[in-house]
Amino acid sequence: MIKKFIANLLGGGAKPKFGKRQEVGPEEHGIDPTLVDERALNVVHTLKEAGFEAYIVGGAVRDLLLGLRPKDFDVATSATPEQVKGLFRRAFIIGRRFRIVHVVYGRGREHEVIEVSTFRANLDSAAAEAVSGNERTSKNELAGMKHAVDASGRVLRDNVWGPQEEDAARRDFTINAMYYDPERRIVVDYHKGIQDAKKHTLRMIGDPAARYREDPVRIIRAVRFSAKLAALGFKFEAKSKAALLPNLPLLADVPQSRLFDEMLKLLQTGHAIATIEQLKTLGMARGIYPLLDLIVERAAQPFVRAALQDTDRRVGEGKPVAASFLLASVLWADVRDGWSQRLARKQHPFPALQEAIDEVFDARIGDISGRGKLGADMREIWMMQPRFEKRTGTTPFSLVEQPRFRAAFDFMRLRADVGEVDVVLADWWQEFSLASDTVREDLVMQLRDEQQKGQRRVRAPRPPAPPAEASGAQPETAAAEGEGSGDAPRKRRRRRRKPAGAGGGDQAGDRAS
């Protein structure tokens, strides 16, 4: 009674019950074993053969119960990360706040990763006693356990190992807290996850408000899961849904870098459009992260919506996507308008574009992305846009060989689809990028002959406009980059050039970052 009273004081009575272990056989759960990935089977078998507990866990079990073939397989085990790493030839310990092991099979783009996590202790605001007797918990971990949560109940540390029932209790949703043993073909369920899966119910384990306080990012994950499962008919359990909006301010205490990463997950799991609609339905269109607020606000714009739909399509087809492409699409209106304003002041086009990009980064991105690869890729996509206007001299040949050409071309193709640039321009580059060296020479020669009467110029970008709208005069500036004019004599190219990657509108491999 005293322990219960103290727990109520510290955690508001929020500590989730560990639940009663239930082992459900194949005659009841109905999982088709042929849907289980062979590599996941190998990981489970290797761990069990070494004397550890091991199960397929999380969303993969949920999908198997629904008769779906999971895209990813996670494994939970009683082995520590170091013990897991020692059992596999290609295994890598990653993470700091949450240490896990990636077991890698295959090479290059065909490789597959099985994520292996150790059973975690349930560290809510009253959980110190729950693992104090755990022999696998080190003295240093026990000594620092009192700092595992902050005053609000937010979990700060998450690398204290525990038994399976506690690992299940610390997971978010009942349908993600089931464990499947593919060798015995049983599902271990502590929180009626099978029942909720059959009822298509998304329910938080324990008291929802307290669980959101432990880790406010669960609010974002709840939105992501609900959007993903909405197509399958899943709906929020009433209490889990009701606690979302009141706890939204808790996200203000989450590091910006973590929010940035969670925002990208919302947009890159194949349900970006559904997620944005879910945010609006839940009254959470604003307040999660400033850049996400902007994305929701602009989602109805033709260009941004086309980029979101393209991303969803690629994920659905199992193709790589890059955050740089999607964010460049969302922020293009700011870059385009800033660039046009500078061109109207007679600034040189390329420095003007660079200034506009810098201004957008300062206002919208800041230092959250680290301005590393993501920022560099966005800049390249934007900086290549005016170069597509110049199709004479050596520019087309050098441009098509740039590492980010495919992403930049796909970006320009989307602009053409919404009427921002001429479709003829996009079609020309489509043909040029796929052509042989000889055909490329002929395409440039033919265009040069057509342009004999005037010099090709870089045009300021124009916002999308309905086809029936009369087109006004566009500001023009001289072509940049030190290339000769369209009338200058062209030297015959001698060296062979490789055609670019796959067809337009497919972003090729350079979308993966």
Which domains does the chain show, CATH number per domain?
A: 17-119+163-205 (3.30.460.10), 209-300 (1.10.3090.10), 323-464+476-511 (1.10.3090.10)
Dihedral sign computed on CA atoms, order 300, 303, 309, 312: negative
Distance of alpha carbon 341 from alpha carbon 352, whole angstroms: 9
Q: What is the DSSP letter of 85?
A: H
How many CB atoms sit inside 10 A of residue 58's CB? Answer: 25
Total count of residues recorded for the chain = 513
Active site residue 172: yes
Catalytic residue, from 63, 124, 172, 506: name it: 172
Distance of alpha carbon 480 from alpha carbon 261, whole angstroms: 37
476 beta partners: 459
Element (H, E) at 488: none
How many CB atoms sit inside 10 A of residue 394's CB? Answer: 15
Structure confidence at residue 465 (pLDDT): 54
Active site residue 312: no
Contact 287, 248 (CB under 8 A): yes
Cα dihedral 259→260→266→272 (10° resolution): 140
Structure confidence at residue 5 (pLDDT): 42
pTM of the predicted model, to two decimals?
0.75
Catalytic residue, from 72, 158, 293, 337: name it: 72
Distance of alpha carbon 232 from alpha carbon 66, whole angstroms: 9
Active site residue 167: no
Give which of 89, 109, 91 is closest to 100, Cα–Cα: 91
Largest Cα–Cα separation, the chain: 93
Structure confidence at residue 371 (pLDDT): 55
3-state class of 276 per DSSP?
A: helix
3-state class of 254 per DSSP?
A: coil
Per-residue pLDDT of the chain (513 residues; tens, 9 = 90+): 444 443 444 444 444 467 899 999 999 999 999 999 999 999 999 999 999 999 999 999 999 999 999 989 999 999 999 999 999 999 999 987 778 999 999 887 678 999 999 999 876 534 433 333 444 444 444 343 444 444 444 444 556 889 999 999 989 999 999 999 999 999 999 999 999 999 999 999 999 999 999 899 999 999 999 999 998 899 999 999 999 999 999 999 999 888 999 999 999 989 999 999 999 999 999 999 999 999 999 999 999 999 999 999 999 898 889 999 999 999 999 999 999 999 999 999 999 999 999 999 988 887 665 457 888 999 999 999 999 998 988 889 999 999 999 999 999 999 999 999 999 999 999 999 999 989 999 998 888 888 765 554 545 566 665 544 433 333 333 333 333 333 433 434 434 444 444 344 444 444 543
Catalytic residue, from 74, 124, 312, 506: name it: 74
Structure confidence at residue 470 (pLDDT): 38
Contact 381, 325 (CB under 8 A): yes
- For 385, residues 6+ apart whose C-beta sits below 8 A from its C-beta are 353, 408, 411, 412, 415, 461
Element (H, E) at 331: helix 323-344
